[in-house]
Amino acid sequence: MQVALRDIGNCVIRRCDPSDIIPVMEINMKTLPEHYSDYFYESLLAELPEAFLVAEAEKKLIGYIMCKIEYGFSNFKKLGFVKKGHVVSIAVLPEHRQKGIGRALVEEAISGVKLKRSDELYLEVRCSNNEAIKLYEKLGFIIKQRLKAYYRDGEDAYLMTIEFSY
């Protein structure tokens, strides 16, 4: 059993357990066109449990966020290799949106990647996904680049990123 990181009304944000992966995959299937293998979810959980989080209400999962750590060129500095967190996927079930759960998931994932001393956190988001873009901008992410035809259906993505200081 994982400890609650935060309560929002009757919903708690906590780390993901291995037994949560199937319900997380079900939320992903219902909410996003990008899907992954069970092995991929398991490997993200094994590598970065600090930033693989779920939202639970009335004993059911209603949202998740999962991230990984990468080493690469900074999106902010011209030179140098940095440790970057990458938000791979986040979703909240439609009937539970606009109650602050998405925001809490991103804020707690930021804390999680900061525990690993990441220099930055980045993500890609569909240019048409206004709700998500608004949420990320509220939390301090900025649009750094437009990635042409990033998605399988040809839609462009924005690369959004936030820099941390310690």
Which residue, 50 or 64, is less far from ligand ACO as judged by CB?
A: 64
Residue with the CB atom nearest ligand ACO in the bound state: 102
Q: If we measure between CA atoms, which residue out of 143, 148, 29 comes closest to residue 89?
A: 29
Examine residue 131 and tell whether it contacts ligand ACO (CB under 6 A).
yes
Beta strands 81-92; 53-57: pairing state: unpaired
Segment interacting with ligand ACO (CB under 6 A) among 38-46, 71-79, 96-104, 110-118: 96-104
CB 14: neighbour CB atoms within 10 A? 17
Which letter, b or e, does each residue of 57-68 get, where b requires 16 or more Cβ atoms within 10 Å of its Cβ? beeebbbbbbbb
DSSP 128: T
Applying CB under 6 A, which of residues 5, 12, 25, 32 lies at the interface with ligand ACO?
32
Of 53, 62, 125, 162, the one binding ligand ACO (CB under 6 A) is: 125
Q: Which residues bind ligand ACO (CB under 6 A)?
A: 31-32, 87, 89-92, 97-103, 123, 125, 129-132, 134-135, 138
